[in-house]
Structure 1
């Protein structure tokens, strides 16, 4: 976020960006840029003119004009000694008007190539072939497109320097940009094209402006971070709000939200999207929460279009999901493979029937030919294939049925393979069957 706006809005942020191609806060990187400033109206050797400590580079403040007209402004500091004759000719009004080879002109001073703070503005490691200029500017600056760039011209202009040089200007709150295609003139200045804005701003439309995320016309009230909207790039889509507020899923509003780990809320305070890899779980009464794993009765679903992670019911219709994820009626636990729901346990009283391409929850009578119902209060009831010997079936049996029998004055059931029905008596059937 911009610390201060001087000589082009948010100059500090843009100049900090140039340090290593990323944002460098003052506390992260300290240059030697302390700027002693004279009191208003006073002039003293070694002191910057009042109000002119307005050049911010790498987290340090530097001078753009000395308080004493005869001082030389070298590497952002005022001195009576023209070090290495960096400032060519006589100092004028506390500023340099041109620089010797190995230095370049920037904001009224001569900065040395290859050392701080000059190397935070200019990429060059050796003197340019054109005396007193910089050939390549750091990110956060653009090279002055003036027709003739020489030692009397400012080589690099900060992307957010709205004053600029030679009628070529930056854009308020811009941190990265490209230079104007042609140089400006006294009758028509030329703007850089912004490619990245400071925190709390977004590039609206064609890159000609950085708009505040909370802008009253094109922003969102209470918004602190945003991106352009997909349907209208001139307007903000909010991604973060102030305080405890959270943006709506469409990014058009900020709402009060007290749900832990929630990233987006609606006007009623219900969560619409969770942070990171958490899943949004919605109860039957509408209450919402963010969970790391969906509980029994639900499966985790990730939407194709926006990556929204939700817990979906194993037994619900789950309409309008992409990828699809229709549940299984009567299912109490399931798995999901981004193509279909596979039930692993049914609700009490139902039996899980598994075929080669689907699962279903049925009554005991619905197990059908080729299966027999087996009750299991712990693992869940299921329809067992007749030939599944390890689960009480009969080896190589394709069709079977349960027959009641009486033993010790009580009734039970035995499993009989259909192939043996016609050739056996009831007593024989009892002997040839398996107790289930």
Structure 2
């Protein structure tokens, strides 16, 4: 997995559990790459390292100190600590054994507001699971944009490729659920579903998806001359106004938006 070092040395993306991957961060304990779909670490493999913004950092490191990571009793970390129990740093919150900042990724994709080391408002894609009056953010089902619970039946809004039906997000093209045939992205307003983007080889026409010309991937109408991109391995022939597999001998492939057969 790629590693990026952001502002103030905060790790932006990493869950490393094999030696030699990166010298700036430690190793995650086995089966503990569980945060945000396995991208970040919940518990470190090496005693004396704790998850800060999802990566394993030594307890004496300035990043750990800034987070205010403490043990579950609220005391200073011992030399064998491998996860956090409290986060006292400003704008930090506790999440799955680590301290995360709402100012940086990945913390800002989980929580939008933190008070006294706890998240008080979950970001879109997460829902609040209140335990002992403290908000814990848990991930929505992947089909949901926002939700009230972790199942596919608890969506409040959907990703752009789906629409809401009785708290479930159905694919825009799901005709069994009143979807629009060949629709890739859609919008729902006042109970009315509208297609905004059609699947490849289709274009929007009067709210529906109509077929492009033969071998055309994207177009503005069904007319061959309105093809904007041909399908893979095809080029647009200016003479015949069609997508062809091979340009004529007098022409060559000119690589542009629709890879045109251009005069030599």
1:240 aligns with 2:197: yes
1:175 aligns with 2:175: no
Q: Secondary structure at the match of 1:135?
A: strand
For the 8 Å contact 2:152–2:169, the answer to whether it is kept is: no
Change (3 A) 1:110 1:214: same
- Alpha-carbon RMSD across the aligned residues, in angstroms, is 4.5
Q: Secondary structure at the match of 2:44?
A: coil
Q: Secondary structure at the match of 2:70?
A: coil
Change (3 A) 1:98 1:190: farther
Unaligned runs of 5+ in 1: 1-28, 162-169, 263-268, 271-436
Q: 1:77 aligns with which of 37, 49, 55?
A: 55
Q: 1:132 aligns with which of 117, 121, 140?
A: 117
Higher strand share: 2
CA distance in 2, matches of 1:217, 1:241: 18
CA distance in 1, matches of 2:102, 2:188: 38
Q: Secondary structure at the match of 2:87?
A: coil
1:203 aligns with 2:164: yes
Which is bigger in relative contact order (C-alpha 8 A, separation at least 6)? 2
Please give the residue correspondences for 1:6-405 in structure 2 after superposition, counting only pairs within 5 Å: 32-39=11-18, 46-49=26-29, 53=33, 55=35, 61-68=39-46, 71-81=49-59, 83-84=64-65, 85-89=68-72, 94-100=82-88, 102=90, 103-112=92-101, 114=103, 117-124=106-113, 128=115, 131-149=116-134, 154=136, 156-157=137-138, 161=139, 170-177=140-147, 179=148, 193-195=155-157, 197-205=158-166, 208-215=167-174, 217-218=176-177, 219-228=179-188, 237-247=194-204, 249=206, 251=208, 254-258=209-213, 261-262=220-221
TM-score if structure 2 supplies the norm length?
Answer: 0.53
Instruction: Give, in angstroms, the shift of residue 86 of structure 1.
Output: 0.7
Change (3 A) 1:248 1:137: same
Change (3 A) 1:173 1:68: farther
Aligned length in residues: 195
CA distance in 1, matches of 2:146, 2:96: 19
Larger Rg: 1
For the 8 Å contact 2:109–2:124, the answer to whether it is kept is: no
Q: Secondary structure at the match of 1:144?
A: strand
Unaligned runs of 5+ in 2: 1-5, 224-264
Instruction: Give, in angstroms, the shift of residue 81 of structure 1.
Output: 1.4
TM-score if structure 1 supplies the norm length?
Answer: 0.35
Change (3 A) 1:217 1:39: farther
CA distance in 2, matches of 1:98, 1:68: 19
Q: Secondary structure at the match of 2:118?
A: coil
